[in-house]
Chain A
Amino acid sequence: MKKRILIAKVGLDGHDRGAKVVARALKDAGYEVIYTGIRQSPEQVVETALQEDVDLIGLSCLSGAHIPLFKRVMELLKEYNLNIPVFCGGTIPPDDVPVLKKMGIAEVFGPGSSLKLIVEKVRKLLGEGEDNGGNT
């Protein structure tokens, strides 16, 4: 069965070019991708993750509100006892990367990250070996 990935836009930010491109690339890489659309509260994101029974969550934010918003998502996942790995992307200054990792976010993809790298890391996060190559 295909692994399921949720791509979520957290907060009020409407910039979803990156989120959509990543969603499409993951689809092309053989995953089932659910995209939330823009303007989701942390509560809505976790709710969707639960309902859709996803294996991985990708958060996107380009408004500079990533720290308080992603933090809330991580807290809620804990509250719900959901052990789903999380990665994120957006306009994230280098200084914030360790802060996000400390919250439990596994990977942070800043501007200019290649899709190849994102797909590679996603495979790892899903516990798929490098040479198991593709989920097709």
Chain B
Amino acid sequence: MDLKKIIEEREKWESGILKKFLEKAPERKDFKLDFGPKIERLYTPEHLADWDYLDKLGFPGQFPYTRGVYPTMYRGRLWTMRQYAGFGTAEETNKRYKFLLSQGQMGLSVAFDLPTQVGYDSDDPMALGEVGKVGVAVDTIEDMRILFDGIPLAKISTSMTINSTAAILLTMYQLIGEEQGADPKILRGTVQNDILKEYIARGTYIFPPQPSMRLVADVIVYCAENMPKWNPISISGYHIREAGSTAVQEVAFTIADGMEYVNWVTKRGVDVDKFAPRLSFFFAAHNNFFEEIAKFRAARRVWAKVMKERFGAKNPKSWMLRFHTQTGGSTLTAQQPLNNIIRVTIQALAAVLGGTQSLHTNSYDEALALPTEKSVEIALRTQQIIAYESGVTDTIDPMGGSYYVEWLTDTIEEEVWKYLDEIERKGGMTQAIEVGYIQKEIADSAYKIQMDIESGERVVVGVNKFVDESEEINIEIMKVSEEVARRQIERLQRIKSNRDNSKVEEALDMIRKMAEKDESNETNLVPHIYNAVKHYATLGEIVQALKDVFGEYRAPTII
């Protein structure tokens, strides 16, 4: 291909056909990406002038993994269809899981209620109104036993969105697996365990950053030793994006978080290749189709370079960015809710074309409440239609080589490196969070997006354009009854009166004692939490024991 010739022809086209056309019919507006750059009218080989195929893309399953982490991608195995679900009591959620599995879902994803996520038992005054609302309530191992009743943990993979209390829920899961006869070595799944993004965007932190990072590292090291098939962390950009960041910020802050975890664990003297192959990621898929596809490709490339070049990892598995995707909750509208099915389809398609390893598709009613059985079924069917009917899975990375997508991938990567440098100048991610830099960047983006919606520059169909003035939102809404809290508290009290309290006290004392010691692989807290959980210590009691030593974190408020 002769670049000079292409440039010549392009100039001819611009001064001829194009110019004449624009005189009669000007373009609608200027086009630009949320993170700044202008979008050109047309992308051609000129934009990829110095672009080297082997350097930028290579082959799937090979560094830098731009085209995907596996050599056959979806031709070998489809992504895992995994709907995030949980509400009310363990009994109700167990029923929903069985429904989803019967409809062809391939893995479980547990949503816990907020008291479980921030360390309160269901009978704590702070749990008022929240029991069973955004997820299932878990106070003791008994709830976990009911949650997975009749579901063989040896055969299924389970993702748990749990952070500050990850060690507690992980050991509950391990114990239930053992009760079912499953060796922890074969258990497959993920705990989110990503505390840094909780300070940045999601808000379920409990302890100050230093001891929180210790707990994260404890779980990573524990899994490396005892549960080799378990992903001990899911480094999450999803919530950063949902809090209002741009696609570039999402990738940059997530990778910076990942680097901070790798730093922390290697500082404990653990070899990078011992745990890095099990680090997993989680991103959002929003509406800008090509930008999102490019984002996933760029993220893989940056992480591969970071791990190989910066951390000196030698195992190719340490270089691979494997990720889960969820379609963007904040893009859903309460108005004309059925339109959300189409939004979700576009976003899910971007995730698949971006090479995701697992996917959650949102339900059309989720701007208003948790999904009903009917709405979640449509969401799952959306994935199945993409997988089995659309043909996008037939070849690997079909967008590869598109002038626009490759330009976008390169541009996003460049911008991500700029942020990573800036964060490094600020002394690393923990530091950048503590001074509020990351939070402020996100808040600014969020405000800008809202301003663009207000002005109409950014169109949201049914909200600021094509509004149905006479619309009355009238869809079936899922409601969690206040009864749940009562039932949950009853069960908790029953368990407390039937357990061996001296064993519980002993276990909690041990946790406090170990927490007081300096962080090391010998003072790993997870085995002690396992022991407490086994003796029916409640989640709230274990968290309180840790609070006694670590204290509680109070975040600065940044608007």
Contacts of A42 in B (CB 8 A): 128
Segment with Cβ contacts to A, from B53-61, B304-312, B362-370: B362-370
B394 to chain A, nearest CB (A): 37
B337 to chain A, nearest CB (A): 10
Contacts of B556 in A (CB 8 A): 37
Contact of A14 among B202, B473, B477 (CB under 8 A): B202
Q: Among B335, B369, B446, B559, which residue has the most Cβ atoms of chain A within 10 A?
A: B559
A112 within 8 A of B: yes
Is A91 within 8 A of B367, CB to CB? yes
Segment with Cβ contacts to B, from A21-29, A51-59, A80-88, A123-131: A21-29
If A38-B555, A65-B129, A94-B472 touch, whether A20 touches B480 (CB-CB below 8 Å) is no
If A12-B114, A36-B557, A114-B454 touch, whether A68 touches B128 (CB-CB below 8 Å) is yes
Contact of B477 among A12, A25, A36, A95 (CB under 8 A): A95
Contacts of B479 in A (CB 8 A): 93
A67 within 8 A of B: yes
Is B133 within 8 A of A112, CB to CB? no
Q: Nearest residue in B to A43 (C-beta to C-beta)?
A: B125
Q: Among B120, B134, B244, which residue has the most Cβ atoms of chain A within 10 A?
A: B134
If A38-B555, A72-B128, A95-B477 touch, whether A112 touches B369 (CB-CB below 8 Å) is no
Contact with A along B179-195 (1 / 0, CB 8 A): 00000000000000000
Contacts of B130 in A (CB 8 A): 11-13, 63, 65
If A14-B204, A63-B133 touch, whether A91 touches B244 (CB-CB below 8 Å) is no
B384 within 8 A of A: no
If A69-B128, A111-B367 touch, whether A39 touches B203 (CB-CB below 8 Å) is yes
Is A67 within 8 A of B450, CB to CB? no
Is A63 within 8 A of B446, CB to CB? no
Is B333 within 8 A of A112, CB to CB? yes
Contact with A along B86-122 (1 / 0, CB 8 A): 0000000000000000000000000000110110100
A115 within 8 A of B: yes
B residues 403-458 with Cβ under 8 Å of A?
A: 443, 446-447, 450, 453-454
A24–B447 Cα distance when bound, in Å, is 8
Is A63 within 8 A of B114, CB to CB? yes
Is B370 within 8 A of A20, CB to CB? no
A116 within 8 A of B: yes
Is A17 within 8 A of B330, CB to CB? yes
If A20-B446, A111-B367, A114-B464 touch, whether A38 touches B203 (CB-CB below 8 Å) is yes
Secondary structure of the B contact surface, majority rule:
loop
If A27-B559, A112-B334 touch, whether A20 touches B443 (CB-CB below 8 Å) is yes
B463 within 8 A of A: yes
If A21-B450, A39-B203 touch, whether A11 touches B473 (CB-CB below 8 Å) is no
A64 within 8 A of B: yes
A85–B556 Cα distance when bound, in Å, is 27
Is A12 within 8 A of B118, CB to CB? yes
A residues 44-78 with Cβ under 8 Å of B?
A: 63-69, 72
A67 to chain B, nearest CB (A): 7
A83–B559 Cα distance when bound, in Å, is 27
A121 within 8 A of B: no
A23 to chain B, nearest CB (A): 5
Q: Nearest residue in B to A34 (C-beta to C-beta)?
A: B557
A51 to chain B, nearest CB (A): 15
Is B446 within 8 A of A37, CB to CB? no
A69–B129 Cα distance when bound, in Å, is 6
Is B369 within 8 A of A93, CB to CB? yes
A44 to chain B, nearest CB (A): 10
Contact of B118 among A23, A37, A39, A68 (CB under 8 A): A39
Contacts of A35 in B (CB 8 A): 557, 559
Contacts of B370 in A (CB 8 A): 64
A95–B367 Cα distance when bound, in Å, is 14
A69–B367 Cα distance when bound, in Å, is 20
Is B473 within 8 A of A112, CB to CB? no
A134 within 8 A of B: no
A65–B113 Cα distance when bound, in Å, is 11
B243 within 8 A of A: yes
Q: Among B120, B203, B446, B463, which residue has the most Cβ atoms of chain A within 10 A?
A: B203
Is B447 within 8 A of A21, CB to CB? yes
Q: Nearest residue in A to B368 (C-beta to C-beta)?
A: A93
Is B114 within 8 A of A17, CB to CB? no
A73 to chain B, nearest CB (A): 11
Contacts of A16 in B (CB 8 A): 203
Contacts of B243 in A (CB 8 A): 17
Contacts of A92 in B (CB 8 A): 368
Of the A-B pairs whose beta carbons lie under 8 Å apart in the complex, a sample of 27, sorted by A's number, is A11-B128, A12-B115, A12-B118, A12-B127, A12-B130, A12-B204, A14-B198, A17-B330, A17-B446, A23-B559, A24-B447, A35-B557, A37-B557, A41-B125, A63-B114, A63-B133, A65-B128, A65-B133, A68-B128, A68-B482, A72-B129, A91-B367, A91-B369, A93-B368, A93-B477, A112-B463, A114-B454
Known: A20-B447, A25-B450, A42-B128. 20 other contacts (CB 8 A): A11-B129, A12-B204, A13-B114, A13-B130, A13-B134, A20-B443, A20-B558, A21-B244, A21-B447, A24-B559, A36-B557, A64-B133, A64-B134, A65-B128, A68-B482, A72-B129, A91-B367, A91-B368, A94-B474, A110-B334
Interface of B toward A, CB cutoff 8 Å: 114-115, 117-118, 120, 125-130, 133-134, 198, 202-204, 242-244, 330, 332-335, 367-370, 443, 446-447, 450, 453-454, 460, 463-464, 472-474, 477, 479-480, 482, 555-559
